[in-house]
């Protein structure tokens, strides 16, 4: 008798595993996959530890990649507004009027209203659609705001950034007053003031995930974090004191704060995965983590983030601004635990995830993004799709940046060329106390604990070493400089991922240069006018009970 009970107990873990895998097969047949996108704001390319940095660790984000796929060459426009616009519309910024700079809170414009957005498409397919956190695609009038653009629900802020505790912001330009910016749908939300915003947004994401099963609808959730963007001008980097204590080994006080901010973000990814697991939704979910653009290492909103060894940063035409940290996990991916090495653009997520959800997209959408679901979800060595990505075509800022196959064309740059170089290096001292047990830290992370049950093979120390090594970017040692302010630059990213060797004067490359130049002209002829509008005094929070509120009662183009 005793023996029988014992053997049943021993069998239990196996039994529950079989049960779980059977459940996912019956569920996937009857239910569309949940889509969860966790977005970081201004996080550096090298600030996820899977790339090899050991100053601070991101075990949860890394675990998503070790159990899923590191999006090794994920590209996004190099600033918040165009990047978020490309994600939601599946179009290049030149097709939604967001190609120049960002929307400042006091400017009366937004993402073109005639673009159909991802949340509208998923809502029409039966999803409940939720945005938690940042919007930054305009709020001059209600119709520009999230709940008018396909989200059933929004909890968060409309503008570019807020203070991590006070949830208010002052714009860098002119003399607009400080304004509170936090809402639940259209209502100003004042409760929980003083709670660290990364925790606050994660609490809300957890609540939505917990309450989802009762709705009997698939979940579409974008958790759009503030972290690690700066919070305000006087006190730009903010983290809870107890989190900061974990990083006393980092000497630079700003970098120490940044590490603590990223650590809270990493914890958020862990909490999201745990919440999905506890409610049996993980087995039918697609989870993506990524940063909207590269880190601003220097200049306005500088947060000490590192895009090493890539050149440039946020708001520049270089890889450091465009090639972003990202990973995807889902049991629907056949090949997991490897690098996805094909170039993928944030604008690809719309058609790619629509395919995963069996949604047929109308060709009248005229998307620039392409469906990469067969490659993402298919075998590890799926052939690369020949690819063009228009990174930038900003004739106000006089800058063009285009990827075509292995080549990258850059003409013009930002901030008088101040960001046209490598801006950070990887610290080899100030190591995280967990650096020597990195593999264990990953395996003990909340994410790894949940995702391990979906794997046939365990993630061993060997596998971690191999993947981490293959995620390291190796720069070429060939060097021929280029001054993008004065001349066109051409790089072969297949041998020169760090853009150090200008090929624009190489005879051998004159043909590809001419093709790319011509292609930019072609794309230019299809661009809509930039939507930017000058400041409006009516936006001042002092006129709206100290909040950033809808301030344009008239249509922007209607006569005054």
Ligand X SMILES: *[C@@H]1O[C@H](CO)[C@@H](O)[C@H](O)[C@H]1NC(C)=O
Binding segment for ligand X among 262-270, 420-428, 494-502, 516-524 (CB under 6 A)? 516-524
Distance of CA 250 to the CA centre of its chain: 26
Asked if 184 touches ligand X (CB under 6 A), the answer is no
Q: Residue 296 or residue 552: which is nearer to ligand X going by CB?
A: 552
Catalytic residue among 80, 482, 489, 498: 80
Measuring CA to CA, which residue among 194, 261, 256 is closest to residue 226?
A: 261
- Give the integer Cα–Cα distance in Å for 413 and 400: 8
Asked if 112 touches ligand X (CB under 6 A), the answer is yes
Asked if 280 touches ligand X (CB under 6 A), the answer is no
Alpha helices (H) along 393-460: 438-443, 446-451
Question: How many CB atoms sit inside 10 A of residue 429's CB?
Answer: 8
Q: Looking only at residues 13 through 42 of this chain, which bind ligand X when binding is defined by CB under 6 A?
A: 20-21, 24-25, 28
Binding mask 185-224 for ligand X (x = CB under 6 A): ----------------------------------------
Q: How far is the CB of 391 from ligand X (least distance, A)?
A: 13
Q: Residue 156 or residue 530: which is nearer to ligand X going by CB?
A: 530
Which contiguous run of DSSP H or E holds residue 173? none
Binding mask 452-491 for ligand X (x = CB under 6 A): --x-------------------------------------
Length of the chain: 560
CA 209, 214, 216: angle at the middle one, nearest 5? 95
Catalytic residue among 95, 136, 229, 391: 136
- Cβ atoms of 121 and 531 within 8 Å: the answer is no
Asked if 128 touches ligand X (CB under 6 A), the answer is no
Q: How many residues bind ligand X (CB under 6 A)?
A: 23
Asked if 400 touches ligand X (CB under 6 A), the answer is yes
Integer CA distances (angstroms), 272 to 180, 221, 243, 426, 469, in order: 27, 11, 19, 29, 27
Active-site annotation holds for 154: no
Residue in 517, 536, 543, 550 binding ligand X, rule: CB under 6 A:
517
Bridge partners, residue 394, by sequence: 399
- Cβ atoms of 200 and 166 within 8 Å: the answer is no
- Give the integer Cα–Cα distance in Å for 370 and 378: 16
- Reading the block at residue 289, the tokens are 């983590």
Active-site annotation holds for 80: yes
Asked if 121 touches ligand X (CB under 6 A), the answer is no
Residue in 97, 231, 294, 337 binding ligand X, rule: CB under 6 A:
97
Asked if 411 touches ligand X (CB under 6 A), the answer is yes
Residue with tokens 């809300």: 204
- Give the integer Cα–Cα distance in Å for 279 and 271: 12
Contact set with ligand X (CB under 6 A): 20-21, 24-25, 28, 97, 112, 114, 174-175, 283, 331-332, 398, 400, 411-412, 454, 517, 520-521, 528-529
Active site residues: 80, 136
């Amino acid at each position: 008798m005793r023996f029988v009970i014992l053997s049943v107990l021993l069998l239990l873990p196996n039994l529950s595993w079989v049960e779980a895998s059977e459940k996912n097969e019956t569920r996937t047949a009857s239910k569309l996959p949940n889509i969860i996108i966790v977005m970081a704001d201004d996080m550096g390319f090298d600030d996820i530890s899977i790339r090899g940095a050991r100053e601070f660790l991101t075990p949860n984000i890394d675990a998503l990649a070790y159990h899923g796929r590191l999006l090794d060459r994920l590209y996004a426009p190099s600033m918040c507004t165009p990047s978020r616009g490309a994600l939601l519309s599946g179009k290049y910024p030149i097709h939604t009027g967001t190609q120049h700079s960002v929307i400042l809170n006091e400017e009366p414009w937004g993402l073109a209203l005639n673009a159909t957005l991802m949340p509208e498409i998923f809502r029409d397919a039966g999803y409940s659609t939720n945005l938690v956190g940042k919007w930054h695609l305009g709020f001059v009038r209600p119709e520009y705001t999230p709940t008018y653009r396909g989200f059933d629900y929004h909890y968060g802020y409309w503008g570019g950034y807020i203070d991590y505790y006070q949830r208010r912001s002052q714009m860098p330009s002119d003399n607009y007053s400080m304004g509170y910016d936090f809402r639940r749908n259209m209502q100003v939300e004042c409760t929980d003031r003083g709670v660290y915003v990364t925790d606050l947004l994660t609490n809300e994401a957890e609540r939505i995930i917990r309450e989802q099963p009762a709705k009997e609808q698939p979940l579409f959730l974008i958790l759009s974090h503030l972290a690690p963007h700066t919070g305000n001008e006087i006190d730009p980097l903010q983290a809870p004191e107890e989190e900061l204590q974990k990083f006393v080994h980092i000497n630079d006080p700003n970098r120490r704060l940044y590490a603590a901010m990223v650590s809270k973000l990493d914890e958020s990814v862990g909490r999201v995965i745990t919440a999905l697991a506890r409610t049996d939704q993980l087995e039918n979910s697609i989870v993506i983590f990524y940063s909207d653009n590269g880190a601003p290492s220097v200049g306005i909103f500088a947060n000490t983030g590192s895009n090493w060894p890539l050149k440039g940063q946020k708001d520049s035409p270089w890889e450091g601004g465009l090639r972003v940290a990202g990973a995807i996990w889902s049991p629907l991916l056949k090949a997991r635990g490897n690098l996805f090495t094909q170039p993928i653009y944030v604008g690809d997520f719309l058609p790619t995830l629509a395919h995963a959800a069996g949604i047929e997209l109308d060709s009248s959408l005229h998307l620039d993004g392409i469906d990469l679901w067969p490659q993402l979800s298919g075998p590890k060595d799926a052939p690369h799709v020949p690819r063009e990505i228009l990174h930038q075509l900003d004739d106000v800022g006089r800058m063009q940046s285009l990827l075509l196959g292995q080549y990258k064309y850059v003409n013009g740059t930002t901030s008088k060329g101040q960001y046209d170089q490598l801006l950070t290096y990887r610290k080899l001292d100030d190591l995280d106390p967990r650096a020597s047990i990195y593999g264990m830290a990953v395996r003990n992370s909340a994410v790894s604990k949940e995702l391990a049950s979906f794997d046939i093979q365990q993630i061993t120390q060997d596998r971690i070493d191999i993947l981490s090594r293959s995620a390291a970017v190796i720069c070429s040692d060939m060097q021929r400089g280029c001054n993008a302010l004065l001349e066109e630059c051409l790089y072969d990213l297949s041998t020169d991922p760090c853009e150090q060797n200008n090929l624009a004067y190489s005879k051998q490359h004159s043909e590809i240069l001419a093709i790319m130049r011509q292609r930019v002209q072609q794309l230019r002829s299809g661009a809509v006018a930039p939507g930017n509008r000058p400041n409006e005094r009516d936006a001042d929070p002092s006129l709206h009970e100290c909040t950033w509120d809808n301030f344009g009662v008239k249509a922007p183009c209607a006569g005054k």
